[in-house]
Amino acid sequence: MRTDRIFAAAFVVLVSTAIVAFSTGNTGASFTGTTTNPGQILNTVNVQPPASQNAAVSVSAGTVNLSWTATPTAPNGHTITYLVLRNGTQIGTTGSLVYSDTPPADGTYSYTIQTKIAQGAGFFTSGNSAAQNGISDRTAPTASITCAGGVCGAGWYTAVPTVVITGADGGSGVSTVTRNVDAGGNVAGASPMTIPTLGQGTHTVAYFATDVAGNSNGMTTQTIKIDSVAPSAAALATAVGASNGDVKLTWTQGADATSGVATFDTYDKAVANSGSACGTTGFTLVSSGLGAGTTTATINVGHNSWACFYVVTHDAAGNTTQSNISGPTQGK
């Protein structure tokens, strides 16, 4: 009787050893523990890892969601669980086909899955599935805005600029950028995003970026002012000669609906006499920066000398318009 027990124990050891040796050379599966029923031990050649892993999904707070297809191994009445490994180290066990991992820091990690099947007082563990990289991303992306290919300025644009919003993210990557122009509602799209052409006036563009993991940076706003339309011209009255060689100019101010009239410049051109043609060229700047609301200026042309005149209107954006020409007028 004792001899029979010794023989049976030896048989169990030999069977277990043979299974481990067989599996190591073919599938990478192994058996840990003991069993008292060698006849029901699973064949290790059939203990396989999951057939495939799906792409890892980065979500907010640095979490990486994993999923995979079931092992092709038939359970044969035994319990199947899955071991999840990050960079080769086991981090969890699950009976389902999904697992969520939150690594300790942002970065890219390699994930593999193993199949574990309980058998008696032990268990089989398969080799690794194919690796799948996952990105842990807790860091919000950044968003920037450009106007006409450069930094958006605080001043007025006299040509309608192309406005572009761009997102950047060093982790999971940019998913979308979102704009809101003049409180007209959020519009999301791919980065870079070109904003539809803006009209005349002052605009507020709010924008932010969202990465693949769902992180978003805070809303940023940019004011963009556009005035590409020149002001209406000042109406220059006939210049009047005054004493000491002076000539007095009087005009009616024009208008500018967007940036507003800002300043005036006066110009003159000496001519020979009252019959001389003023022409359109050869005028010289006399005074500049006369404030909005100014409607008169005095220019000294010399005693008994003749000259022609005009006024230039500037709006706040820098657009200009020339008035009509007045003269020739003689300084007294």
pTM of the predicted structure, to 2 decimals: 0.79
- Written as tens digits, the pLDDT of the chain (332 aa) is 444 443 333 333 333 333 333 333 334 666 666 554 445 455 555 688 998 999 999 999 999 999 999 998 877 777 899 999 999 999 999 999 999 999 999 999 999 999 999 877 788 899 999 999 999 999 999 999 999 999 999 999 999 999 999 999 999 999 999 999 999 999 999 999 999 999 999 999 999 999 999 999 999 999 999 999 999 999 999 999 999 999 999 999 999 999 999 999 999 999 999 999 999 999 999 999 999 999 999 999 999 999 999 999 999 999 999 999 999 999 98
* pLDDT score recorded for residue 78: 79
Tell me if domain 2-136 and domain 235-330 are identical in fold: yes
Q: Evaluate the CA torsion angle 166, 171, 175, 181 in order and state its sign.
A: negative
Alpha-carbon distances, residue 6 vs 9, 13, 20, 34, 317 (angstroms):
5, 11, 21, 16, 103
Closest residue by Cα to residue 71 from 90, 97, 93: 97
Compute the distance between CA of residue 227 and CA of residue 262 in angstroms, rounded to an integer.
Answer: 13
Is the CATH number of domain 235-330 3.40.50.11540? no
CATH of domain 142-226: 2.60.40.10
Domain boundaries, the chain: 2-136, 142-226, 235-330
* pLDDT score recorded for residue 154: 95
Alpha-carbon distances, residue 131 vs 49, 108, 268 (angstroms):
11, 12, 82
Helices and strands: H and E segment counts in the chain: 1, 27
Q: Which amino acid is at 312?
A: V
Instruction: Specify the CATH class of 2-136 in words.
Output: mainly beta
